[in-house]
C-alpha cells in the first residue's frame, strides 16, 4: 500500500514480534531497513528474507539501551545507505519476574526496564536527529502501550516507561517540528508476540489467548502486522500533518468506560 522506496529505516527490537512485522512492512514497501536487536539468531533469520522483498533488511546486533549500542546502529545505517529517514523506537521489555508490587521490585529491574523501554528512545533519537535534519526531515515512531495511558497492577516500571515514551513523543514533536521531523507513537493493546507469550509457562493455550482477548471490545488480541500497518501509515506522507500524537491500536480497549 505504501511506497518507501529508497527510504532508510531503523527499527529497534526488530527481530521479533511487532518490530519484526514493522521491518517486514517497510522492506516490502521498498525501504532499506536496519533491524537492531540483541537476538542474533532471530535477526539473522529475518535478514535472510531480504531476497524475496522489494527492499532489504540488514541485521545489526546491539543493545540499544547503551550509548555505544545506539551509536553503532545509527552509524551502520548511515554508512550503509548514506542517510536516515525513519526511526522506529520499538524495543521494549516486561520480564515475567517484574510483575511485582512496586515495593518488591528490585531496583536493578526498574533500571533495566527504564533503560530499554525509555532511555533507548532518547539515545536513538539523540544520535539520529543530525541525520534526519541532513535529509531535510524525517519521522520518528515510538511504540508505547495502552499501559502508558491506563494502569494495571504490578507493572510500575513498565507503565512508567510507557508514560515516559508518550511524554517524550510530545516533547520531541515540539522540539523538531521546524526541522520537518514528525514524532508519533502507537499504543498497542495485547499483541501475539514473544513478549506476551513469555508471561505464561510453556505455550499459551487457546483458553489463555481467549482470556487475553477479553479486555478488548473486538474480543481478541492483535497480530503484530495489525500494529505494523498503523506504524507504516504514520511514517507515510498520508500522515504528513500528524505529529506529537499517539494512536491506540487496541481493539477498542481505551474506548471502554468502567461502566461498559
Ligand X SMILES: NC(=O)c1ccc[n+]([C@@H]2O[C@H](COP(=O)([O-])OP(=O)(O)OC[C@H]3O[C@@H](n4cnc5c(N)ncnc54)[C@H](O)[C@@H]3O)[C@@H](O)[C@H]2O)c1
Could you list the residues that contact ligand X (CB under 6 A)? 12-13, 15-19, 36-39, 42, 62-65, 90-93, 116, 143, 145, 188, 190-191, 193-196
**Between 19 and 180, CB nearer to ligand X:** 19
**Between 29 and 120, CB nearer to ligand X:** 120
Residues that are catalytic: 158
Number of alpha carbons in the 13 Å side-chain half-sphere of residue 97 = 7
DSSP state string for 200-222 = SSSSPPHHHHHHHHTTSTTSSPB
From 27, 30, 85, 87, select the one nearest 57 (Cα to Cα): 27
**Minimum distance from residue 103 beta carbon to ligand X (Å):** 23
**Minimum distance from residue 21 beta carbon to ligand X (Å):** 8
Distance CA 228, CA 230 (A): 5
From 170, 71, 187, 90, select the one nearest 129 (Cα to Cα): 71
**Minimum distance from residue 124 beta carbon to ligand X (Å):** 10
**Between 133 and 220, CB nearer to ligand X:** 220
Distance CA 3, CA 112 (A): 36
Amino acid at each position: 500500500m505504501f511506497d518507501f522506496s529508497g527510504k532508510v529505516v531503523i527499527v529497534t527490537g526488530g527481530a521479533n514480534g511487532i518490530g519484526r512485522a514493522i521491518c517486514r512492512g517497510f522492506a516490502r514497501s521498498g525501504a532499506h531497513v536496519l533491524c537492531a536487536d540483541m537476538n542474533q539468531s532471530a535477526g539473522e533469520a529475518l535478514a535472510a528474507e531480504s531476497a524475496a522483498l522489494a527492499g532489504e533488511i540488514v541485521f545489526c546486533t546491539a543493545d540499544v539501551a547503551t550509548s555505544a549500542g545506539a551509536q553503532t546502529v545509527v552509524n551502520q545505517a548511515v554508512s550503509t545507505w548514506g542517510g536516515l529517514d525513519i526511526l522506529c523506537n520499538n524495543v521494549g521489555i516486561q520480564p515475567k519476574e517484574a510483575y511485582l508490587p512496586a515495593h518488591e521490585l528490585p531496583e536493578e529491574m526498574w533500571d533495566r526496564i527504564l533503560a530499554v523501554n525509555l532511555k533507548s528512545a532518547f539515545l536513538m533519537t539523540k544520535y539520529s536527529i543530525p541525520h534526519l535534519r541532513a535529509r531535510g526531515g524525517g519521522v520518528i515512531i515510538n511504540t508505547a502501550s495502552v499501559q502508558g495511558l491506563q494502569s494495571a497492577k504490578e507493572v510500575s516500571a513498565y507503565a512508567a516507561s510507557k508514560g515516559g515514551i508518550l511524554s517524550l513523543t510530545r516533547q520531541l514533536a515540539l522540539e523538531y517540528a521546524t526541522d520537518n521531523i514528525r514524532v508519533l507513537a502507537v499504543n498497542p493493546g495485547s499483541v501475539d508476540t514473544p513478549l506476551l507469550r513469555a508471561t505464561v509457562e510453556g505455550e499459551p493455550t487457546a483458553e489463555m489467548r481467549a482470556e487475553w482477548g477479553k479486555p478488548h471490545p473486538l474480543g481478541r488480541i492483535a497480530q503484530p502486522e495489525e500494529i505494523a500497518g498503523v506504524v507504516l501509515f504514520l511514517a507515510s506522507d498520508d500522515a504528513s500533518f500528524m505529529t506529537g500524537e499517539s494512536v491506540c491500536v487496541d481493539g477498542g480497549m481505551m474506548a471502554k468506560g468502567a461502566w461498559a
